[in-house]
Amino acid sequence: MSDRKEKSSEANSNQRGTKKFSSENTLDEGVIAFGEWLMSAEDLSARCGPLSLRKMINDDEILLFDAMLNQDVIVKMIGGVPECGACHNDTECMHIGFSICVAQMNRRNAI
């Protein structure tokens, strides 16, 4: 099977709700997951997606639940810069993308 077909079938196998999440683990996927999480909070029939917010701790730690990993993930905000506890060497993972959105909403007192 070619690389292109493998990636396509891999992305399809990671489907959450109506959105497709690849295994690339990017900031953009985190932003999309945040949007899905917001929609699920307003519409109880909507699926939550791969990430959901458990709670914020002292405005500098964000506890998420990652449904793909089936575990909690802590993202720490150190001097305004997010650091993911699950993806130590990845500074642009989906956990960070989701957490940036959470932090922005928290600053606006919307969460």
Q: What is the pLDDT of residues 15-44, one digit of tens each?
A: 334 344 455 789 999 999 999 998 887 776
- Domain enclosing residue 85, as ranges: 26-107
Instruction: Report the pLDDT averaged over residues 60-76.
Output: 94
pTM score of the predicted model: 0.74
Q: Is residue 81 part of a domain?
A: yes
Is residue 69 included in any domain, yes or no? yes
Q: Is residue 1 part of a domain?
A: no
The domain total for the chain is: 1
Average of pLDDT values for 42-52?
A: 78
On the CB side of 30, CA atoms within 13 Å amount to: 22
Whether residue 85 lies inside any domain: the answer is yes
Q: Token pair for residue 5?
A: 């077909």
Q: Note whether residue 50 is domain-resident.
A: yes
Sheet holding 61-66, edge to edge: 51-57, 61-66, 71-78, 81-84
Residue 3 placed within a domain: no
Q: Residue 42 carries which side chain, given as an amino acid letter?
A: E
Answer whether residue 10 is part of any domain.
no
Q: Which two tokens stand for residue 60?
A: 């500098």
99 domain-assigned? yes
